[in-house]
Structure 1
């Protein structure tokens, strides 16, 4: 098998495929360690996947978090990570600079072969059937052809492989943008993910408005912090000024925290956040899309690492199941079920997220949400569970039952696209 991209999605896929006895080639265009634009925060969903990989989350380099600290207009509240089966009751923070490298080492320890500095330029097509049969890549200035029975596209939001096959991002799905900067500062928080809601941005016409999104301050250890802001929108024709959004966040932070240019250790950098399964279909003959390439990002929170790792595990399980079948037709039948498996896992929750973003795109509703709804202590645990997608569907707790009922009532996704469509 060929896995393109050694981020959380690709490394998790490679690990589980190798564990199942498959021959796995993991291709990464960069050379580790390398940076990625990210908030670096890991919720209990992501921690669960790390534990499944056998990663030692008690070792050096990890910052453990006890919950969220949310700041809004005139209020602040702390909400611990709730004990929700089957997730642990803690989160983690670790910079992507070495987090991805750790996952790559975990995959290779399981038996995957990693080639760094290998830029995949196009899919290799089988002329007779039109099936993806491998990839073409540049490595050390030389063009290489790599063949495999299946290719996993874990090559990020822009996904060169998906675009080459005509799989474009859907405009009716949430799209986010996030910007972040690192600081070395004397802020003492080391055990909470801090969020700021009600930030203001400016559109291309110069109008100030309150978009759906939030700012964050996440501790990454040794007195360093990842500080950033992000928004989500659907079919927005004018783009937000995300640097203004970031500056609005910085202006709201206490001056004593010293999140200023003098204490910055990186430039302000941004990245897109394709969410809500915004690229369809996730399987075409010979290739599966996962992680950011498939738009497997939470449209309410912007979380991507946990869903990347979960989709990687799901992808490996699908491939292993398919390869165990005795005929090509039966193998293909299993692979064709992969988009349905993703929709079953995330479709209803992502639909709830899309509907909430559409509602909160109206300034009055957004102001009501950040000013009045989030300030009510009785609703805060439910909001954390909803934003983090952490309800327990088997719990008798009223909050869990309401959230579970809400997501079950939502449709799973838009009508299915043809698996062979371009």
Structure 2
């Protein structure tokens, strides 16, 4: 079995599979290691904004409707007795439609897309640890070597040179002997657990937002609607006698007789809220969205944490890049992560190509790889900083109530807000709202 490559990609979600596809297209020898087997379920809203659709177009993945890709042409916002519809904008930089597809299908198709480019994506491989090389030699990260592992930092001599993994059976149990996989570059796309980053002592930043989301699938006669619907009123208890929570509920039609129905809340500092999210969702469904005529629930209510706003850094240490949820690359405004994970995969590939072009100059190669972290901050740092301010404001029930009561009735304000929340605006020129958003993003610190 082949265990050496140019790049090892850990995880085959949107970030990992996209990285494998891009790298293979550029001629890199890629081994991808995914602990699960496809198709596998993931907690997600299954809705893709035009920003995500753009990334899907860039990677060359076809999205025919007859294969389950359901288009949507705008966002419907519900709250405070108002229902406002905002069509996706006609922009040069983004398509004017979104898509919906269950994550179990989306991730599988993206992994197959990577394989079609020549990436060796292997299912049923659980990565246990990193291989590190320092001045004393090579070692595997464990509790006894934690201090040495923490020395893997930009500018240091220690670097990641591979991973240790074990195969898993159909139930996800680890079987067989540990196997070492080696490569000059490891891409950590292992999701919210970020086990590889934590092994290097890269702890979560406590001043960054963290979301919690729950979702299920519900039968509905409105399954073919071409709108994404968001409900901005989520109450901690009985409506009117409790606090309005920072977050929203969603309904994303899937065209197969069902809709993805979910709810998420936000903690500005990432501290556990202690909320019963399943209970909140049941209460929301009992008092809202009755016009969807929901029937049977398909499967249970499943939940997950959502790391936001670059809550784990640096995104590059010698020999390893963080892509997607492992680096907290989730939009604090709306909880979207797929678009940004795929964007990070593009940028990681650009850095890898630049490093290869540096040839035998070790310093130049390392400088090219390290540029990945700077590219991600240049791309998203300002916008995510605005999201951190947004999260800290709406965490106050009074502010959230004022926004719903006085903001929703004003279409001009909500037109701007819809572009801000979806991160879909023209970065150069465009309408007044695009110009204002671009200016705000440019002046915000990319922390």
User: TM-score of the superposition, structure 1-length normalised?
Assistant: 0.93
> Which 5+ residue runs of structure 1 have no aligned equivalent?
414-422
Paired position in structure 2 for 1:382:
416
- Name which of 257, 265, 268 aligns with 2:301: 268
* 2:400 alignment partner, SS class: helix
The alignment of Structure 1 onto Structure 2 pairs a total of residues equal to: 407
Asked if 1:17 corresponds to 2:23, the answer is yes
- Name which of 10, 17, 27 aligns with 1:4: 10
- Name which of 147, 152, 158 aligns with 2:187: 152
Q: Give yes or no for contact 1:124–1:135 (8 Å, CA) kept in 2.
A: yes
Q: Give yes or no for contact 1:215–1:227 (8 Å, CA) kept in 2.
A: yes
- Name which of 25, 34, 45 aligns with 1:28: 34
What is the distance in 2 between the residues matched to 1:238 and 1:257? 29
Structure 1, residues 117-175: CA drift from partner, whole Å, max 9, x if none?
Answer: 00001111114352111000011512111000100000001111111111111110010
Paired position in structure 2 for 1:420:
none
Paired position in structure 2 for 1:284:
317
* 2:426 alignment partner, SS class: coil
What is the distance in 1 between the residues matched to 2:11 and 2:32? 7
> Higher mean Cα deviation, 109-118 or 250-259?
250-259
> Higher mean Cα deviation, 241-250 or 344-353?
241-250
Alpha carbons of structure 1 residues 146 and 275: separation in structure 2 relative to 1, 3 Å: same
Asked if 1:314 corresponds to 2:320, the answer is no
Structure 1, residues 310-336: CA drift from partner, whole Å, max 9, x if none?
Answer: 111111111111121021110001122
What is the distance in 2 between the residues matched to 1:254 and 1:131? 52
Alpha carbons of structure 1 residues 189 and 61: separation in structure 2 relative to 1, 3 Å: closer
What is the distance in 2 between the residues matched to 1:255 and 1:278? 37
Paired position in structure 2 for 1:100:
107
Superposition map of 1:187-226 within 5 A: 187-188=222-223, 190-201=225-236, 208-226=242-260
Q: Give yes or no for contact 1:63–1:190 (8 Å, CA) kept in 2.
A: no
- Name which of 213, 216, 220 aligns with 1:178: 213
**How far apart are 1:87 and its partner, in Å?**
0.6
Paired position in structure 2 for 1:136:
164
Paired position in structure 2 for 1:44:
50
> Considering only aligned residues, what root-mean-square deviation do their CA atoms show, in Å?
1.5
What is the distance in 2 between the residues matched to 1:237 and 1:6? 28
Paired position in structure 1 for 2:384:
350
What is the distance in 1 between the residues matched to 2:92 and 2:439? 17
Asked if 1:121 corresponds to 2:121, the answer is no
Structure 1, residues 183-226: CA drift from partner, whole Å, max 9, x if none?
Answer: 12223552000000021126xxxx94222110000011211110
**How far apart are 1:268 and its partner, in Å?**
0.5
Paired position in structure 1 for 2:333:
300
> Higher mean Cα deviation, 246-255 or 136-145?
246-255
What is the distance in 2 between the residues matched to 1:253 and 1:374? 17
Q: Give yes or no for contact 2:222–2:253 (8 Å, CA) kept in 1.
A: no
* 1:379 alignment partner, SS class: helix
* 1:346 alignment partner, SS class: helix
Q: Give yes or no for contact 2:10–2:188 (8 Å, CA) kept in 1.
A: yes
> Which 5+ residue runs of structure 2 have no aligned equivalent?
1-6, 136-156, 169-174
**How far apart are 1:253 and its partner, in Å?**
3.2
